[in-house]
Amino acid sequence: MNTLRNLLFLIMLTAFVFPLAVGVDSFALQICGNANMDETINDEDVSYTEKIINGEAEKTILSDANNDGSVDEKDIEQINRIIAGDEEFLVVREDLGDFVKIVEPVKTFVYHGHNTYVYETLRSIGAADGIVGITDSFVTPGGSRISKAYLPELLSVTNVGSLQAINYEVINNIKPDIVLTDAREYYDPTKTPDIPVLALDVNVTNGKEASLRYGYIFGKVAEAEEYVNWYTDIENKIAERINKVADSEKPLMYISNYNFDETTFQVPARDNYRAVMVRNAGAEYIGDEMKGSGIQNVDAEWVIARNPQVIAFSVSNLVLGYDIHDTTNATVAIDDFLQRPAFADIDAVKNNKVYLISHPYILCGGASGLIGTLYYSKWLYPDLFDDIDVQEIQQEYVSRFQHLDLNVKDSISAYPQ
C-alpha cells in the first residue's frame, strides 16, 4: 500500500498549477480596429473611427487599426478589410498588453504550452490542423498532457522541447507562421526573431474573448461565434439556477490538487481561476480571505478549522481522464483522504462530499473548464441540477467541437460520477 501511495503521490505532482486573473462577463475584443471596444469588429467601428477623425469621439487603445501611431483614413481601410476577411495583417493585443503584428493568413503554428486549453479552443473553431510543433508533455510517453484518446493527432507532432527548455533551433527550422504560448515567461522571442510570438492563454475568465481573438487570427470568425454562443448557453444554464440560491445557503468548498502529504495543503487565492470556478458553481470559496491569484501553502489545521462542506481535488491523467476506464487509482486517493483521522469530523468527510476531477482536461480552460464548473454545481446542488446531464453536455463538446469519435461515458473525468 505504501508503494502505491508513493507512486500516486509522484503522479499527481505532475499536475502543475498556473494562476490566472479574474475576468468579467462583458469584454472588448483585443484586436486593433475594434475602435468602440465591444465584442466584435463591424461597421460600428468604422463609424466610431470616423468620429475620432472628426474630433467627435475619444481615441481608444484599439482604434489605431494599423498601429501606425495615428487614427486616420488608413485605419478605416484596415477595419473594412478585417470585416471583409481579406486583411494582410492583424495587430493583436496579447496577454501582457503588448501589440503583436501578425501577417495573414495564418496557416501554421507552434504551440508552446503547458495546458490543453489553447489547442482545444483552436480545435473547437476548426483551426487546429495547422499545428506543426508542440511542447514535449503532449508527445513524450508519460507526459502530463499526453492522451491517446483525446489528443491522438498530437502524438506525431514535432517536439519543440519542454516548457522551460525550448528547442529554438527546431522552431526556426519549422518556420511556423506564428508561435502561440500560454507561458510567455519561459519563451524568449529574440531566439525566433522572424516568427511572431503571441501570448494568449484560454481560461474560465477569458474563454469567450480569447476564442473570438483566435477566430480572427485564423480566419474562423463564424466558427468562433458558433462556439462562443454554445459556451454562453451553458454559462446561462448554470447562472439561472445558482441565482436562485441565497448566499446564506451556499456551502463552503475547498479545491486543490491532490497530495498524499498529510501536513501541507495548497489553497488557491481568491482571484485564482479555481476560485472563480467554485463561485460560478454556486459555492462559497474557502480561500476568499487570501488576496491575489497565486497559491498558498497552509497546514492541515487551517483547512480543518474552516470545515469545508465540499472538497474537490484535481488529479493527473493517470488517475482521471479520457484514457482512464476504471476507478482503481481514484478510489485509492479518495479512500486515503477519507481515512485520515484529523479530517474525520469535517462536514465534507462526514457527508461523503469529497470528489476528484481531471486536472489536464476539465479543470480550467474555456468550455472544458465550464464543464468542470458544471460538475461542481452538480455535486453542490444535485436536486437543482437534476435535469442536467453533465456527461451529455461534455459529449456534445467532445463530438461537435473537438471532432472526436469518443464516448465520454466510457472514460472517467470526474469521480464519483
Residues forming beta bridges with residue 356, ordered by sequence position:
313, 415
CA distance 52 to 72: 8
CA distance 358 to 241: 24
pLDDT tens per residue, the chain (417 residues)? 444 444 443 334 333 333 333 233 679 999 999 999 999 999 999 999 999 999 999 999 999 999 999 999 999 999 999 999 999 999 999 999 999 999 999 999 999 999 999 999 999 999 999 999 999 999 998 888 999 999 999 999 999 999 999 999 999 999 999 999 999 999 999 999 999 999 999 998 899 999 999 999 999 999 999 999 999 999 999 999 999 999 999 999 999 988 877 788 999 999 999 999 999 999 999 999 999 989 999 999 999 999 999 999 999 999 999 999 999 999 999 999 999 999 999 999 999 999 999 999 998 888 999 999 999 999 999 999 999 999 999 999 999 999 999 999 999 999 998
CA distance 411 to 408: 6
| Pairing of β 414-415 and β 354-358 | antiparallel
Angle between helices 367-380 and 273-281 (to 10 degrees): 50
CA distances to 86, 107, 193, 199 from 177, in Å: 17, 7, 12, 14
Quick one: 414 exposed, middle or buried, by C-beta within 10 A (0-12, 13-18, 19+)? buried
CA distance 139 to 205: 28
Of 205, 415, 417, 410, which Cα lies nearest the Cα of 313?
415
Residue whose C-alpha cell is 469521480: 415
DSSP string, 113-169: -SSSHHHHHHHHTT-GGGEEEE-GGGTSTT-TT--TTTSGGGGGSPB-B-SSSB-HH
Amino acid symbol at 145: R
CATH code: domain 2-21+246-415 is: 3.40.50.1980
Domain boundaries, the chain: 2-21+246-415, 31-93
CB neighbourhood size of 54 (10 A)? 8
pTM of the full structure:
0.91
CA distance 179 to 268: 29
- 3-state SS of the chain: helix, strand, coil percent to 5? 40, 15, 45
What fold does the segment set 31-93 form as a domain? Answer: Type 1 dockerin domain (1.10.1330)
pLDDT at position 71, please?
A: 98
